[in-house]
Amino acid sequence: MGKRKTRNPTGEWLSLKEAAAMLGVHPATLRAWADAGRIPSQRTAGGHRRFARKDLEAWLQAHGAEPGVRMLITYTLGQLRLELARGVGPQAPWFERMRGPIAQEFQATCYQLLEELQAYIRDHDPHRPRRIGQRYAEQAHAAGLGLEDLLRAFLHFGGHLLESVFRMVELGGAPERWREVYRDILAFYNETLLAMVGGYLERAPWDQAVVRPATG
């Protein structure tokens, strides 16, 4: 157990919840890491955990993630989870068809996309967006979704991602090199989209892929 810390006059100490949000992990995960000594922490007089911002930033850098980029990914995930938890979204037939088991599969792939995006910003590996695009195509075809539904769902998710970039800029939390990061995001997004469409058309004849699904 670390030394006790009773005051936070400079804002450099974060609570468990705040620190977990900064790292993009569940608070229980961060608690386990702290118990194992993977990340330093201290206790307040009341026994609450506190994490030094500099220690969290060092951890992010050591694991290949810029703090601003990680915050961007975390914010996007939060918006996506909020929409899914509330069951709100576009009042459109394609959104209704995305409910049920297919929604859970696409949600998992969305989370994977964000993790791959974070890695892509670091290493620019062209295989990352292609793998994700192929995964979306495979899921949509297996679920019997039309190409139009797939595109609308992906564009809707992309809207969340791009909105998060602008929101982070407004809040002053965007990466220092946010213009370069923004270009990387667009490149990743476009390559994923191309791979997704190509993968879908490999699995479905063109005349079937472009037919608008029934709305009933």
Q: What is the pLDDT of residue 18?
A: 85
- 94 lies in the same domain as 193: yes
- 52 lies in the same domain as 72: no
CB 2 within 8 A of CB 42: yes
Say if 28 falls within a structural domain: yes
Query: Tell me, what CATH number does 102's domain have?
Result: 1.10.490
CB 55 within 8 A of CB 39: yes
- 75 lies in the same domain as 58: no
Contacts of 90 (CB under 8 A, 6+ apart): 156
Q: What is the pLDDT of residue 188?
A: 95
Q: What is the pLDDT of residue 77?
A: 72
- 45 lies in the same domain as 134: no
Query: Tell me, what CATH number does 24's domain have?
Result: 1.10.1660.10
Q: Which residue stretches of 63-177 are H helix?
A: 67-86, 93-97, 101-123, 127-143, 147-171
- 90 lies in the same domain as 160: yes
Say if 57 falls within a structural domain: yes
Of all helices (H) and strands (E), which one includes residue 50? strand 49-52
- 51 lies in the same domain as 95: no
Say if 214 falls within a structural domain: no
Q: What is the pLDDT of residue 215?
A: 45
- 37 lies in the same domain as 90: no
- 37 lies in the same domain as 138: no
Say if 216 falls within a structural domain: no
Residue-level pLDDT, tens digit, the chain, 216 residues: 444 444 444 458 999 988 877 776 667 778 888 888 888 999 998 889 999 988 888 877 776 566 667 677 777 777 776 666 655 566 667 777 777 777 778 878 887 888 788 889 888 999 999 999 999 999 988 888 888 888 988 888 888 888 877 776 766 655 567 788 889 999 999 999 999 999 999 988 665 555 445 444
Say if 93 falls within a structural domain: yes
- 89 lies in the same domain as 177: yes
Q: What is the pLDDT of residue 118?
A: 83
- 94 lies in the same domain as 190: yes
CA distances from 5 to 53, 76, 140, 206 (A): 14, 32, 51, 64
- 85 lies in the same domain as 42: no
Quote the domain boundaries for residue 181: 67-209
Q: What is the pLDDT of residue 127?
A: 96
Tell me how far apart the 2 most distant CA atoms of the chain are, in Å.
68
Say if 1 falls within a structural domain: no
Number of domains the chain contains: 2
